[in-house]
Amino acid sequence: MKVLHIDASALGTYSVTRGLTAAIVAEFVQSHPGAEVTYRDLHANPLAPWSMPVGDDNPTDIEAAKVMDEFLAADVVVIGAPMYNFSVSSTLKAWIDRIAVAGKTFSYTSAGPQGLAGGKRVVIASSRGGVYTEGPAASMDFQEPYLRAMFGFLGVTDIEFVRAEGIAMSDDHKTNAVGSAMASIGGLIRKAA
């Protein structure tokens, strides 16, 4: 099994999503001995914004091809997705811009768009300061619905969220939110292993 582990938080050791993705990947490795993990830190090593390919020996194009190969090869993709300004971080968006490529991960047919990257499992560790699963801010969540739509567009049907929300509301709230997100990981991995 090949696991692709992606982090995108700018908050280093204070990051919630980095802790969650590490725990999710550790569970996968424990339950699938021999799992091969590829790691990408999109904050430490941000990808260049999308631009027209210029040639095979161009460093940006070489890196873009590597990003695509890693994604296509992965059986499981674990992504840390902090909510930034109601959406995903620009670093994660830059990665998405490299994996959403016509002819590789989707195509347009006479019947409409078709995803070509099915058969993978995508697990997203989501963290946000406020609460969006219910209440007045629910309509401002352009992070999780976007990710669900994006991977659905690419053909991924097996997508799950491990969520800590309301982490900026109080220390207690953060502790409880992160604790229950962490506690959900073992069951999630076992359920669909």
CB 114 within 8 A of CB 107: yes
Query: Which amino acid makes up residue 19?
Result: G
Residue 16 binds to ligand FMN (criterion: CB under 6 A) = yes
- Residue found under tokens 């995508």: 122
32 token code pair: 């699938």
Q: Residue from 4, 5, 6, 17 that binds ligand FMN (CB under 6 A)?
A: 17
Beta carbon of residue 95, minimum distance to ligand FMN (angstroms, whole number): 15
Residue (15 or 91) nearer to ligand FMN, CB: 15
Which residues in 90-149 contact ligand FMN (CB under 6 A)? 127-130
CB 107 within 8 A of CB 116: yes
Residue 84 binds to ligand FMN (criterion: CB under 6 A) = yes
106 token code pair: 């989707």
- Residues in contact with ligand FMN, counted by CB under 6 A, come to a total of 18
Comparing CA positions, the residue from 146, 21, 161 lying closest to residue 78 is: 21
Residue 46 binds to ligand FMN (criterion: CB under 6 A) = no
Binding site for ligand FMN (CB under 6 A): 9, 11, 15-18, 80, 82-86, 127-130, 167-168
